[in-house]
Amino acid sequence: GLGLGTTITFASSHWLLAWMGLEMNTLAIIPIMAHLHHPRAVEATTKYFLTQATAAAMLLFASTTNAWLTGQWDIQQMTHPLPVTMITLALALKIGLAPVHSWLPEVLQGLDLTTGLILSTWQKLAPFALLLQIYPANSTLLIILGLLSTLVGGWGGLNQTQLRKILAYSSIAHLGWMILILQFSPSLTLLALLTYLVMTFSTFLVFKLNKSTNINTLAISWAKMPALTSLTPLILLS
């Protein structure tokens, strides 16, 4: 379901199909998130579902408005500023750009590391593909979103001890940089996304091997796995 949803969004040139792919993505990850049956996991799942459903409804509303105003459903030819702005905000809510980011640290904190990994990597691909296709139309809004996200991501992670929350804020900051670079060089943004995916993957896997969810367990993991512990700062620094 996850793979299919993302693939449909990738392959679509019609807004309805893109929306359908995003919806499939959300619905496919819900049971994966809730499978722990822990109250926190269920709460995180509910928060995630509500934000994603809101974003999807916004996207559907914006694309219908666009079809009504311009008479076409094509993703590539977004001309009217109103639907473009609404769609950009909906996609920002989907991937967690500031100022609509506050669900992301909360949700990520409630999940186990494997599901957190899927949420921070795979779930960002489809909305990002849509952003890449409509970016020329609204540079000012994207620059504001990008700047806000880099600031929020940088400051938010300062006072945290929970690793998943730090990763969530780091994700917000990275996305902010990507959205900023998007105006000037889309290929560079894609490279940044790829690097981010590789880094996030390795970070989550290291934490999973260490079974560490906060900084203290990471600090005392030297006795258990010295090689892995010496690798961790390298990954974090990059």
Contact call for residues 153 and 166 (beta carbons, < 8 A): no
Q: Write the DSSP symbol of residue 162.
A: B
pLDDT of residue 40: 94
171 falls in which pLDDT band (50, 70, 90)? very high
Task: Dump pLDDT digits (tens) for 101-160.
Answer: 999 999 999 999 999 999 999 999 999 999 999 988 788 999 999 999 999 999 998 989
CA distance 134 to 157: 30
227 falls in which pLDDT band (50, 70, 90)? confident
15 falls in which pLDDT band (50, 70, 90)? very high
pLDDT of residue 61: 97
Q: Provide the 3-class DSSP secondary structure of residue 165.
A: helix
pLDDT of residue 218: 84
pLDDT of residue 222: 80
CA distance 42 to 40: 5
pLDDT of residue 136: 82
CA distance 179 to 49: 24
CA distance 73 to 17: 10
Tokens 């940044």: give the residue: 192
Task: Dump pLDDT digits (tens) for 183-204.
Answer: 899 999 999 999 999 999 999 9
Contact call for residues 172 and 107 (beta carbons, < 8 A): no
| Interval 23-37 mean pLDDT | 94
Q: Provide the 3-class DSSP secondary structure of residue 36.
A: coil
Q: What are phi and psi of 188, to 5 degrees?
A: -65, -40
Is pTM, for the whole model, over 0.85?
A: yes
Neighbour count for residue 146 (Cβ, 10 Å): 22
pLDDT of residue 166: 93
CA distance 161 to 6: 33
| Residue closest to 94 by CA, chosen among 82, 107, 81, 83 | 107
Amino acid, single-letter form, for residue 204: F
The first and second tokens of residue 143, run together, are 């620059």
pLDDT of residue 90: 97
Task: Dump pLDDT digits (tens) for 65-103.
Answer: 999 999 999 999 898 999 999 999 999 999 999 999 999
